[in-house]
């Protein structure tokens, strides 16, 4: 019997608005598609949070023994400014501003995306298709939608007819929006648009003369609409109907709503059994925004080179922080929150490191089998990582009690405890045991900590000359001290 046969997963389905028992379409196999980045800039920390959540889902399904085909796309064409059907392609705009080829932009930021995810210990997807690599499939899909009467061509561009589609289908069922409300809240067309109605969206856009990225089609030299690529690529690699489609909450409307409409218009059925959406990442209680300066990128968070945080944080501490909140909850990134997560992470790692040194006894004072199932129950409940972590800390407390002689464990239970702790901490949550990594960085931290203590003693003795000398000479060596309410920390240049 496979492990997935013994566990009953429930997934919160955005389409139904409730948790539903998970049953894969094909026994033992799971098809999962997650909308990837538009590669026109460095990956946003909020995007990292979304991909981190689905990396955990991927890891847990694999842990249960499912053969998972995880498809995560790269958008390298067709994503216009403001997610609309007008304006300039985001990648083309970046290429024009920097006077380079669009594919240079794509290459640069795809490499950055992969590098950042590697630092955070992500598992690679099974397939990572690109929009430009599937132009033929998108053209074929448009032709089918036109043939079925749900799209129209005007002046070389093709638009999806939302009103026609809504006569026989339910446009807005994912985002719980009604077309009448969308019509009421939409401004009148300015007379320059080719659309029949403002709610219609582009399947193919005729390229203006200055538009660099273009492909030949039956309608014009142009490029596909942003929503179309995910419909074409998800069904190509996962079939006309597959198990899970994930993405950020901000993609629910219009992107995912349009995906459903395109699939139903072309293939006569909704494409996905379970829609999953990860919620937003805030910074110090406010939405991240480049325009207001309330934003930090992954490199800045990892290096400590930013104005928001008192120190640098390791990738596993950030992963641990993320896992302490449900993927469906808004997560507020704060220095206090990361400091608390860092302490908790090290407390958990310290307990795991004790597992190799504790001795077994004839009895166990803790029900390890029941605790193990509690860990599974947490993840089975819509991947509830905060509850899982609470159970891991229960085990950490027990391990410390054994070390102090206040509890006991049999050799069989010790083996089960160790296997389960390793499985959920490293395989499922994707954390890395940094405390076991003896490196130059560890030794540097220890040496600087000694100097910080000497400086604190000098200040306590009012020897400010020595205190300033320690700070200044460290600065000359490229080590910056930073005094804060939690004490003194340091960063390296």
Extended strands (E) in 292-395: 331-333
* Whether the Cβ atoms of residue 349 and residue 67 lie closer than 8 Å to each other: no
**Dihedral sign from CA coordinates of 423, 429, 430, 432:** negative
* Whether the Cβ atoms of residue 388 and residue 325 lie closer than 8 Å to each other: no
* Whether the Cβ atoms of residue 131 and residue 211 lie closer than 8 Å to each other: no
The pLDDT assigned to 127 comes to 98
Quick count: other Cβ atoms within 10 Å of Cβ 177? 16
Q: Which residues pair with 208 in a beta bridge?
A: none
Three-class SS of residue 162? helix
| Residue 269, CA distances (Å) to 166, 259, 417, 466 in order | 14, 11, 46, 74
What DSSP assignment string belongs to 471-490?
HHHHHHTTEEEEEETTEEEE
Element (H, E) at 321: helix 315-323
Extended strands (E) in 188-241: 201-206, 222-224
Query: At 259, phi and psi to the nearest 5?
Result: -60, -45
The pLDDT assigned to 327 comes to 98
Q: For 462-491, b where at least 16 C-beta lie within 10 A, e where not — what string?
A: eeeeebeebbeebeeeebebeeeeeebbbb
The pLDDT assigned to 124 comes to 97
The pLDDT profile of the chain, 493 residues, written as one tens digit per residue, is 799 999 999 999 999 999 999 999 999 999 999 999 999 999 989 999 999 999 999 999 999 999 999 999 999 987 886 666 777 889 988 998 999 999 999 999 999 999 999 999 999 999 999 999 999 999 999 999 999 999 999 999 999 999 999 999 999 999 999 887 777 565 554 445 789 999 999 999 999 888 889 999 999 999 999 999 999 999 999 999 999 999 999 999 999 999 999 999 999 999 999 999 999 999 999 988 777 888 999 999 999 999 999 999 999 999 999 999 999 999 999 999 999 999 999 999 999 999 999 999 999 999 999 999 999 999 999 999 999 999 999 999 999 999 999 999 999 999 999 999 999 999 999 999 986 654 445 567 778 888 888 888 888 888 888 888 888 888 878 788 878 655 787 766 5
Element (H, E) at 233: helix 226-238
Helices then strands, counting H and E runs in the chain, come out as 17, 15
The pLDDT assigned to 183 comes to 76
Distance of alpha carbon 397 from alpha carbon 371, whole angstroms: 13
Name residues whose C-beta falls within 8 Å of residue 40's C-beta, 6 or more positions apart in sequence: 79, 90, 91, 93, 94, 105, 109
């Amino acid at each position: 019997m496979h492990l997935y046969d013994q566990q009953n997963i429930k997934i919160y389905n955005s389409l139904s608005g409730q948790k539903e028992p998970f049953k894969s379409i094909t026994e033992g196999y799971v098809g999962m598609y997650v909308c990837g980045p538009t590669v026109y800039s460095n990956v946003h920390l909020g995007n990292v949070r979304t991909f981190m959540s689905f990396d955990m889902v991927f890891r847990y399904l694999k842990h249960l023994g499912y053969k998972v085909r995880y498809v995560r796309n790269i958008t390298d064409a067709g994503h216009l400014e403001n997610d609309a059907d007008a304006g300039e392609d985001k990648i083309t705009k970046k290429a024009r501003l920097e006077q380079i080829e669009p594919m240079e932009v794509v290459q640069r930021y795809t490499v950055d995306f992969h590098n950042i995810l590697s630092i955070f210990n992500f598992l690679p997807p099974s397939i990572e298709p690109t929009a430009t690599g599937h132009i033929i499939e998108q053209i074929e899909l448009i032709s089918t939608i036109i043939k079925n009467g749900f799209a129209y061509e005007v002046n070389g561009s093709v638009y999806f007819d939302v009103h026609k589609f809504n006569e026989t289908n339910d446009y807005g069922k994912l985002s719980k929006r009604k077309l009448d409300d969308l019509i009421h809240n939409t401004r009148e067309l300015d007379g320059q648009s080719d659309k029949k109605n403002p709610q219609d969206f582009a399947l193919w856009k005729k390229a203006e003369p200055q538009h660099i990225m273009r492909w030949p089609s039956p309608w014009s030299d142009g490029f596909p609409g942003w929503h179309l690529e995910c419909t074409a690529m998800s069904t190509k690699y996962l079939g006309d109907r597959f198990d899970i489609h994930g993405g950020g909450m901000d993609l629910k409307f219009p992107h995912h709503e349009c995906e459903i409409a395109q699939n139903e218009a072309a293939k006569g059925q909704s494409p996905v059994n379970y829609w999953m959406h990860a919620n937003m990442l805030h910074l110090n209680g406010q939405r991240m925004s480049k325009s207001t300066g309330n934003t930090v990128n992954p490199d800045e968070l990892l290096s400590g080179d930013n104005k928001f945080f008192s120190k640098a944080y390791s990738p596993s501490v950030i992963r641990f922080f993320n896992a302490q909140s449900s993927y469906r909850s808004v997560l507020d990134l704060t220095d206090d929150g990361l400091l608390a997560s860092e302490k908790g992470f090290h407390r958990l790692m310290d307990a795991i490191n004790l597992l190799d040194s504790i001795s077994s006894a004839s009895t166990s004072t803790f029900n390890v089998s029941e605790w193990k199932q509690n860990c599974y129950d947490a993840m089975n409940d819509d991947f509830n990582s905060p509850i899982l972590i609470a159970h891991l800390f229960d085990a950490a407390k027990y391990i410390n009690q054994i070390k102090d002689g206040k509890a006991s464990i049999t050799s069989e239970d010790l083996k089960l405890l160790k296997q389960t702790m390793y499985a959920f901490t490293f395989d499922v949550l994707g954390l890395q045991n940094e405390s076991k990594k003896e490196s130059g960085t560890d030794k540097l931290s220890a040496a600087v900590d000694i100097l910080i203590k000497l400086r604190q003693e000098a200040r306590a003795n009012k020897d400010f000359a020595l205190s300033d000398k320690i700070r200044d000479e460290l600065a000359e060596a490229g080590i910056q001290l930073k005094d804060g309410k939690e004490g003194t920390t340091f960063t390296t240049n």
